């Protein structure tokens, strides 16, 4: 039986612009420690490796060292605050829903592979009315590994009912490109996300600057790489 082609998306900085709510949660916990807020332009580039890494990067930016136990406390407080404000300002990037509509009509399935916790990812996509679009929504706690561990992407593809030979990864940062490369899956990089380095320097197969460009990028990858459809 033929396998439906699959597109696996990162979440923060790829499907949704969640930076405002993540930065608000970061500055909430830093403020309780008597620290100044991290400017939005700097904090955006700290996003992508999960809540704890975001807090550690925020502390580093403030020149503050804390014990692992104290960072654990801040991480729990961050998650509690963020869960209550997860979609205050977060919205899909412009063109995302139209691109999904276009690709769905062509027979593509979709999945999410994110270093965000699974339950937070589902809550966010529920609030935005997007959850039903995805065959699987997998987070850092789903399989006990994070990107760029290739097991994470392989298991996400399997849970979606897909095949790595008919899959494409879409993401905005090093872990996304890394997990795709380690899994042998082609990858589209988005130039509007939160990468700490320009996405072009990470050498994805293609780079797009707007979600409206995704359908043509996917078509090009299928044509040039001979992916299964």
Averaged pLDDT, 126-130: 97
Residue 18 pLDDT: 94
Q: Are residues 169 and 184 in the same domain?
A: yes
Mean pLDDT of 184-204: 95
Terminal CA-to-CA distance of the chain, rounded, Å?
12
For residues 168 and 214, membership in a common domain is answered with: yes
Q: Which tens digits make up the pLDDT trace of 71-115?
A: 899 999 999 999 999 999 999 999 999 999 999 999 999 999 999
User: 182 — phi, psi (to 5°)?
Assistant: -70, -20
Kindly state whether residues 183 and 167 are assigned to the same domain. yes
Per-residue model confidence (pLDDT) at position 37: 87
32: in domain: yes
Per-residue pLDDT, 229: 52
- What is the total count of domains within the chain? 2
Q: What is the CATH number of the domain that holds 132?
A: 3.40.50.1000
User: What tokens does 158 get?
Assistant: 């399997």
Is residue 59 within 8 A of residue 66, CB to CB? The reply is yes
> What average pLDDT does range 192-205 have in this prediction?
93
Residue 43 is inside which H or E element, if any? Answer: helix 40-44
CA-to-CA distance for 30 and 55, rounded, in angstroms? 8
| Six-digit token string for 213 | 């460009």
Residues 7, 97: Cα–Cα separation, whole Å: 14
Residue 1 inside a domain? The answer is: no
Give pLDDT, residue 228.
Answer: 56
Q: Which of 10, 12, 176, 205 is catalytic?
A: 10
- Predicted local distance difference test score (pLDDT) of residue 204: 97
Which domain range does residue 209 map to? Answer: 6-17+91-225
**In 3D, which of 118, 125, 134 has the Cα closest to residue 50?**
118
Which pLDDT value is given to residue 227? 66
Residues 151 and 175 in one domain: yes
| Count of C-beta atoms within a 10 Å radius of residue 172 | 27
Q: Do 38 and 142 fall into the same domain? A: no
Residue 59 lies in a domain: yes
d(CA 1, CA 190): 32
The predicted-structure confidence for 155-167, as pLDDT tens digits, reads as follows 999 999 999 999 9
Provide the pLDDT confidence category of residue 47 given band limits of 50, 70 and 90. Answer: confident
**pLDDT on residue 2:** 67
Q: For residue 55, what is the domain's CATH number?
A: 1.10.150.240
Place of tokens 């990037």: 93
The band of 183, judged by pLDDT with boundaries at 50, 70 and 90, is very high
Q: Is there a catalytic annotation at residue 10?
A: yes
- For 228, the enclosing helix (H) or strand (E) is none
Same domain for 137 and 96? yes
Could you tell me if 80 and 98 lie in one domain? no
110 and 23 both lie in a single domain: no
């Amino acid at each position: 039986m033929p396998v439906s082609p699959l597109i696996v998306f990162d979440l923060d900085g790829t499907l949704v612009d969640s930076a405002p709510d993540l930065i608000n949660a970061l500055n909430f916990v830093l403020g309780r420690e008597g620290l100044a807020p991290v400017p939005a332009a700097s904090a955006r580039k700290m996003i992508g490796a999960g809540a704890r890494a975001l807090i550690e990067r925020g502390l580093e930016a403030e020149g503050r060292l804390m014990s692992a136990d104290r960072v654990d406390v801040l991480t729990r407080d961050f998650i509690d605050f963020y869960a209550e404000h997860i979609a205050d300002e977060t919205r899909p990037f412009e063109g995302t829903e139209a691109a999904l509509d276009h690709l769905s009509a062509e027979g593509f399935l979709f999945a999410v592979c994110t270093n965000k916790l699974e339950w937070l990812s589902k809550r966010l996509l529920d609030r935005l009315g997007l959850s039903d679009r995805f065959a699987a929504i997998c987070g850092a706690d789903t399989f006990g590994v994070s990107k760029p561990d290739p097991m994470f992407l392989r298991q996400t593809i399997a849970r979606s009912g897909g095949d790595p030979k008919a899959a494409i990864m879409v993401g905005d940062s090093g872990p996304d490109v890394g997990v795709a490369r380690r899994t042998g899956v082609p990858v589209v990089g988005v130039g509007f996300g939160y990468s700490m380095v320009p996405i072009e320097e990470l050498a994805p197969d293609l780079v797009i600057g707007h979600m409206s460009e995704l359908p043509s990028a996917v078509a090009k990858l299928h044509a040039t790489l001979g992916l299964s459809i």
